[in-house]
C-alpha cells in the first residue's frame, strides 16, 4: 500500500501528525440548508450551539494538540492542522481565509492543512482560496464521497448525489491541493460488485488520496439505534479484510491510502467491536495481500478518458447552501479569537 505515513515522510522528511481543530462549523445537512438530521452515522449533536462553550482559540487548540502528540511520539517533524468536525468550508470565504491562515501561521511547526467537507459545499470562491493557500503549503481537501451509488447515499441521508461529488472533483483537479475521498465499505444493500464500482470511480475521477472506513455505528445516532434494535448489521471482520484488499487492488499505485478502517472511541462504539483493534486489522490486511501475492493497483486499469482530460463543469453548489453561508454569523472560533 502507498501508505500515508510513508508519503508524509517522503514529503516532509520525518513523522508528521495531524492535529484536529474545531472552528465551530455546522453542516448544511443538519441545519436545514439541504436537509435536517444529518447522515445516519454522524453524531451531529456535537454541532449544536452549546459546543461553543467548549471551543478554544485556534492557537490553544493547536498547542494542546501538539502537546498531546509529543507525549506519544519522540520525534515529530511537523503537524497538519486538520479541520475535522462538521463541514469545514461552510462559511463566507473571507472567514475561511482568516481561520485557515491563522492555523497555518500561528505555530511554526504547522506544515499544512487538511479540510474535511461535503462535495456540495465548495463554491468556486472557496476552491480559489484553497488553490491560493496550496501555493504556499500542503493542503488536502477531504471530500465525503462514501459511495458512488445514490441509493446508498439516500440510505445514509447524505442529502447529496454522486453527481455532486463528480462536479466537485472535476472543479478541484489541477489546482495544486490534494483531493482525498472518504469511502465507506459495508453499507447495507451494497454488493461486492457495487463497492468495486466505487473503487473504479476513484481512478476515473483522479483522486490523489483515499480514506477507507468500514461502516460503524456509534451511540446516539439513527444508525446506532437501528443496530441496537437488530435492524441493521455490520460487516464481519473477515469479509471486511477481503473487501478492502479487493478494493485496494483496483486503486492506482500512486494514490495515497490515508486510512483503511474506521475509528471511534470505545465507550461510544455500538458495533462492530473488531474495528477497535486497528493495528491487528492492518496486519491482517497486509497478510492477505501477501497471501494473494498482490498489492495496491494490481488490478488497476487507467480509464479511457484520463482525469486530466475531463472537462471542467459549471459550479453546482446548491443555492440554498450559498444563501445560508451568507446569512450565518461569524464563525464561533473567530468570535473567540477577538
Ligand atoms: S455531511 Fe458530514 S458533518 Fe454533515 S451530517 Fe453528514 S457526516 Fe455529519
pLDDT for residue 165: 98
Expressed as residue numbers, the domain containing 277 is 4-337
Q: Which residue has its alpha carbon closest to ligand 1 atom 8? A: 42
Burial (0-12, 13-18, 19+ Cβ within 10 Å), 90: buried
Contacts of 270 (CB under 8 A, 6+ apart): 216, 217, 218, 219, 224, 227, 228
Which of 20, 27, 32, 324 should be mutated for ligand 1, with most atoms under 8 A from CB? 27
pLDDT for residue 44: 78
As a whole number of Å, the CA-based R_g of the chain is: 19
User: Exposure pattern of 104-132 as b/e (b: 16+ CB <10 Å)?
Assistant: bebbeebbbbbbbbbbbbbbebbbebbee
Distance 29 CA to ligand 1 centre (A): 6
Q: Which residue has its alpha carbon closest to ligand 1 atom 2? A: 86
Distance (Å, rounded) from C-alpha 285 to C-alpha 205? 25
Distance 77 CA to ligand 1 centre (A): 31
Which of 23, 44, 154, 187 should be mutated for ligand 1, with most atoms under 8 A from CB? 44
Ligand 1 site, CB within 6 A: 27, 29-30, 38-39, 42, 44, 86-87, 118, 144
User: Exposure pattern of 17-33 as b/e (b: 16+ CB <10 Å)?
Assistant: bbbebbbbbbbbbbbeb
C-alpha cell at 176: 495544486
pLDDT for residue 102: 94
Number of structural domains in the chain:
1
C-alpha cell at 45: 449533536
Distance 141 CA to ligand 1 centre (A): 15
Q: Which residue has its alpha carbon closest to ligand 1 atom 4? A: 27
Place of cell 482559540: 57
Distance 108 CA to ligand 1 centre (A): 31
pLDDT for residue 317: 98
Q: Rounded to the nearest 10 degrees, what angle do helices 58-72 and 93-105 cross at?
A: 40
Q: List the chain pLDDT tens, one digit each, 338 residues.
A: 999 999 999 999 999 999 999 999 999 999 999 999 999 999 876 665 555 546 788 889 999 999 999 999 989 999 999 999 999 999 999 999 999 999 999 999 999 999 999 999 999 999 999 999 999 999 999 999 999 999 999 999 999 999 999 999 999 999 999 999 999 999 999 999 999 999 999 999 999 999 999 999 999 999 999 999 999 999 999 999 999 999 999 999 999 999 999 988 899 999 999 999 999 999 999 999 999 999 999 999 999 999 999 999 999 999 999 999 998 888 888 888 76
**Which atom of ligand 1 is closest in space to residue 38's alpha carbon?**
5
Q: Which residue has its alpha carbon closest to ligand 1 atom 6? A: 39
Strands (E), the chain: 16-21, 78-83, 110-117, 138-146, 178-185, 209-214, 217-218, 256-259, 269-271
pLDDT for residue 54: 63
The CATH number for 77's domain is 3.20.20
Amino acid at each position: 500500500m502507498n501508505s500515508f505515513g510513508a508519503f508524509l515522510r517522503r514529503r516532509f522528511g520525518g513523522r508528521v501528525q495531524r492535529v484536529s481543530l474545531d472552528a465551530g462549523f455546522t453542516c448544511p445537512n443538519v441545519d436545514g440548508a439541504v436537509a435536517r438530521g444529518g447522515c445516519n452515522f454522524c453524531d451531529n449533536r456535537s454541532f449544536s450551539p452549546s459546543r461553543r462553550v467548549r471551543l478554544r482559540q485556534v492557537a490553544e487548540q493547536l498547542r494542546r494538540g501538539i502537546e498531546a502528540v509529543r507525549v506519544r511520539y519522540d520525534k515529530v517533524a511537523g503537524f497538519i492542522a486538520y479541520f475535522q468536525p462538521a463541514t469545514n468550508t461552510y462559511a463566507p470565504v473571507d472567514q475561511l481565509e482568516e481561520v485557515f491562515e491563522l492555523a497555518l501561521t500561528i505555530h511554526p511547526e504547522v506544515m499544512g492543512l487538511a479540510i474535511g467537507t461535503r462535495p456540495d459545499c465548495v463554491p468556486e470562491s472557496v476552491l480559489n482560496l484553497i488553490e491560493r493557500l496550496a501555493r504556499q503549503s500542503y493542503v488536502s481537501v477531504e471530500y465525503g464521497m462514501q459511495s458512488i451509488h445514490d441509493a446508498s447515499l439516500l440510505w445514509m441521508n447524505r442529502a447529496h448525489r454522486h453527481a455532486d461529488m463528480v462536479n466537485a472533483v472535476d472543479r478541484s483537479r489541477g489546482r495544486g491541493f490534494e483531493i482525498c475521498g472518504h469511502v465507506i465499505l459495508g453499507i447495507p444493500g451494497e454488493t461486492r460488485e457495487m463497492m468495486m464500482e466505487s473503487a473504479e470511480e476513484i481512478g476515473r475521477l483522479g483522486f490523489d488520496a483515499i480514506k477507507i472506513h468500514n461502516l460503524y455505528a456509534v451511540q446516539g445516532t439513527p444508525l446506532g439505534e437501528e443496530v441496537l434494535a437488530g435492524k441493521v448489521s455490520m460487516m464481519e471482520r473477515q469479509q471486511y479484510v477481503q473487501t478492502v484488499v479487493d478494493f485496494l487492488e483496483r486503486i492506482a499505485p500512486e494514490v495515497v491510502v490515508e486510512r483503511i478502517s474506521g475509528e471511534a472511541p470505545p465507550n461510544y462504539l455500538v458495533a462492530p467491536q473488531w474495528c477497535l483493534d486497528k493495528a491487528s486489522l492492518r496486519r491482517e490486511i497486509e497478510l492477505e495481500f501477501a497471501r494473494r501475492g498482490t498489492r495496491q493497483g494490481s488490478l488497476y486499469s487507467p480509464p479511457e478518458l484520463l482525469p486530466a482530460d475531463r472537462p471542467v463543469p459549471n459550479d453546482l453548489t446548491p443555492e440554498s447552501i450559498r444563501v445560508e453561508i451568507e446569512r450565518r454569523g461569524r464563525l464561533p472560533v473567530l468570535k473567540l479569537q477577538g
